[in-house]
Amino acid sequence: MNGTQEVSHAPAAHGTNGISNQAGPSNIYASPAPSSPVAPDASRGQAVHTAPELTADQVNQRHAEISAHIYHTGFQLGQYADVSLHVHNRQYRLHALILSRSPYLAHLLATSQNNVIYIRLEDEPHITEEAIAVALGYLYSPYQVGLVNPSNARSVVAAACLLGGMPELADLAFECCRASISASTIVDWVNFVESIPPPPAPASDATPTNYPQGQTSVFGPYLNQFRDLVYGYLIVTLPNVLHALAVPEDGNGWDELLGIYTQLPFDTLKQAIESPAFPAGTDQVRFRFAKAVVAQRKQANPSGAEETVVLAFGGSQSGSAVHITRKSKKKAALEASTIDSSPSPGGIGLNYSNDLYWTSPDPRDSGIIGYEGPQPVFWRLTTTMAYHNATRTIVYKGVDQSDREEEVAWLDWTSVNHLGLATIGGMEVPMSQLVQRGSAFRSRQFTIPDPQDQRVFEWRRDESVDNMYQLYNEHGAGIASFELYDMPQPSSIGPLYAVMRYWYKEDDNLMLTSILSLTLIRWIALHGP
């Protein structure tokens, strides 16, 4: 030994290029740790050496230069490439070291031969070649964020989620999407979220996907964020921004919201209008808006499925007393051909109807509830059987908006089930006069039994659908329709079994007599005269 201390170099502390593994990117420019204290006598006469440091601005400038060089030379020019990446018909000459920042691409590299890899997008319609180019470029440099715009942001989110390793790009693109949602784009956004199927239920034998671990959609965690964003804007933000429901049926806001909702898929329309968050204010406003939307949708697509708005009574624990239902196209077409083709004083195809709903399938025992404009309407039929088979159906009418009701008519049946005598106000007439044979096949005619009001009307049973009727006045104009539902419709007060749509108002004589006649017609259809 010559007195010189031997220094040991541990191979494990150095990479293959001789660069220490103990120094990462965070401390490349850091000052070295202070040396151990030196004895005073050993330091006498020696200059103190301080390691040079770059300023923060110099570091940032150097980073920018390196990033620009890697982006231009490596990504844009493809020089010194060692990987061939194929997307559809496009080929990129790239670098494995850079691509390995993406977990998805790192996996492809690890399983590829000859460093040739393919990104299959045939089953990913939401990812465009442009978005893939933005995401690949972002692996090289953050300069690519300047290429994100409203037209490609949605696809960039998907590309960033698929490749992985670039959450900042995905977040930035998502915020660009958020900013692009407006009244003019919301229908496109709704169609977008509706086009993505919900994630499958978790199961041990679930089919493997090509998505990163934990993702069930190419949009990853952003899928639910997109849905919340779009539905929140559609249901809450848009009506408030337009002030559409603050002054119902008055102003451009109402018309613009009406035009947008008319274009929605049925399930989305139903979800939006029935949502407790929909800022209608009252069930009456919600009901009128829903009726207006359904009427406009019918005008836009007369041959489409029949959509009906139901207003339940007594409140709703679900947050909305308004429900939208749908019937089959075949049945809707039959109904449209009988009602809409009939001339009407107010134009049935143009005016909104008033609707009444039956709460029971029994013609002689049922509540009948609805609205005539903003005013609630309530009728009730109840049937009792006393001694000697004396059977009476009493008809009650709700008084104003109170809980009171008054008797307005009786139907006294013969031998329990056969037609007898009807008492309407102070007039007594045979029940048969309310169901006389009409002028058309399968029709029944009635005259209002009031000396001051002798108008004649006729219920006509639909020629093709047995559970549908239309009411015509003496001039042949259709003024109402009645339909028994194939299946009870749910509501907050229980199931609803039938609906009567009518295009007149403030006509108690006609309403009462038409209900009585309809009750008898339905009873005859079930049991005979």
List the beta bridge partners of residue 116. Answer: 84
| Tokens describing residue 387 | 């001694």
Mean pLDDT of 501-514: 90
Q: pLDDT band for position 32 (50/70/90)?
A: very low
pLDDT of residue 440: 83
Residue 320 predicted with pLDDT over 80: no
Closest CA to 432 of 423, 443, 421: 421
Q: State which amino acid sits at residue 389.
A: N
Q: For residue 188, how far is the Cα from the chain centroid?
A: 12
How far is the C-alpha of 108 from the C-alpha of 128, rounded, in Å?
Answer: 20
Mean pLDDT of 473-483: 90
Residue 208 predicted with pLDDT over 50: no
Q: pLDDT band for position 347 (50/70/90)?
A: very low
Q: How many residues does the chain have?
A: 529
pLDDT of residue 99: 95
Residue 22 predicted with pLDDT over 60: no
Mean pLDDT of 418-439: 89
Mean pLDDT of 162-190: 96
Q: pLDDT band for position 332 (50/70/90)?
A: very low
Residue 171 predicted with pLDDT over 90: yes
Please, what's the largest Cα pairwise distance for the chain? 139
List the beta bridge partners of residue 372. Answer: 375
Residue 342 predicted with pLDDT over 70: no
Mean pLDDT of 217-242: 93
Q: State which amino acid sits at residue 41.
A: D
Closest CA to 346 of 479, 475, 459: 479
How far is the C-alpha of 224 from the C-alpha of 232, rounded, in Å?
Answer: 12
Residue 212 predicted with pLDDT over 60: no
How far is the C-alpha of 468 from the C-alpha of 308, rounded, in Å?
Answer: 15
Q: pLDDT band for position 464 (50/70/90)?
A: confident
Of 7-21, 225-239, 415-429, minimum mean pLDDT range: 7-21
How far is the C-alpha of 248 from the C-alpha of 306, rounded, in Å?
Answer: 25
Helix axes 153-163 and 129-140, enclosed angle (nearest 10): 60
List the beta bridge partners of residue 427. Answer: 424
DSSP string, 72-108: IIIIIS-TT--EEEEETTEEEEE-HHHHTTSHHHHHH
- What residue ranges define each of the domains in the chain, with the CATH number in brackets? 80-180 (3.30.710.10), 234-326 (no CATH), 354-384+431-527 (no CATH)
Closest CA to 381 of 250, 216, 497: 497
Residue 101 predicted with pLDDT over 60: yes
pLDDT of residue 406: 87
Residue 83 predicted with pLDDT over 50: yes
Determine how β-strand 116-119 pairs with β-strand 83-87: parallel
Q: Rounded to whole angstroms, what are the CA distances from 15 to 22, 95, 409?
A: 9, 20, 100
Q: pLDDT band for position 381 (50/70/90)?
A: very high
Residue 5 predicted with pLDDT over 60: no
pLDDT of residue 431: 92
Residue 131: strand, helix, or coil? helix
For tokens 């008054």, name the residue. Answer: 406
Residue 486 predicted with pLDDT over 90: no
Mean pLDDT of 200-221: 56
How far is the C-alpha of 236 from the C-alpha of 257, rounded, in Å?
Answer: 12
What is the radius of gyration, based on Cα positions, of the chain?
38
How far is the C-alpha of 124 from the C-alpha of 215, rounded, in Å?
Answer: 14
Residue 344 predicted with pLDDT over 60: no
Closest CA to 397 of 373, 429, 424: 424
How far is the C-alpha of 518 from the C-alpha of 432, rounded, in Å?
Answer: 12
pLDDT of residue 45: 59
**Dihedrals φ, ψ of 516, to 5°?**
-60, -45
DSSP string, 322-366: EEEEE--HHHHHHHHHHHTTS--SS-TTTSPPEEEEES-S-TTSE
* pLDDT digit string, tens, across residues 257-298: 999 999 999 889 988 998 989 999 888 888 889 999 999 998
Residue 317 predicted with pLDDT over 60: no
Q: pLDDT band for position 389 (50/70/90)?
A: low
Percentage above 90 pLDDT, the chain: 43
How far is the C-alpha of 326 from the C-alpha of 260, rounded, in Å?
Answer: 19
SS3 labels along 389-420: HCEEEEEEEECCCCCCEEEEEEEEEECCCEEE
393, 364 Cβ separation under 8 angstroms: yes
Structural element, H or E, at residue 385: strand 375-385
What does pLDDT average to over the chain? Answer: 80
Mean pLDDT of 185-196: 93
Stronger pLDDT, 386 or 521, i.e. the higher one: 521
Q: Rounded to whole angstroms, what are the CA distances from 359 to 259, 404, 453, 489?
A: 33, 19, 30, 10
56, 49 Cβ separation under 8 angstroms: no
74, 95 Cβ separation under 8 angstroms: yes
In a 13 Å sphere around the CA of 264, the CA atoms on its Cβ side amount to 25
495, 515 Cβ separation under 8 angstroms: no
Residue 13 predicted with pLDDT over 50: no
Stronger pLDDT, 53 or 385, i.e. the higher one: 53
324, 337 Cβ separation under 8 angstroms: no
Cα-based angle 344, 346, 352 (whole degrees, multiple of 5): 110
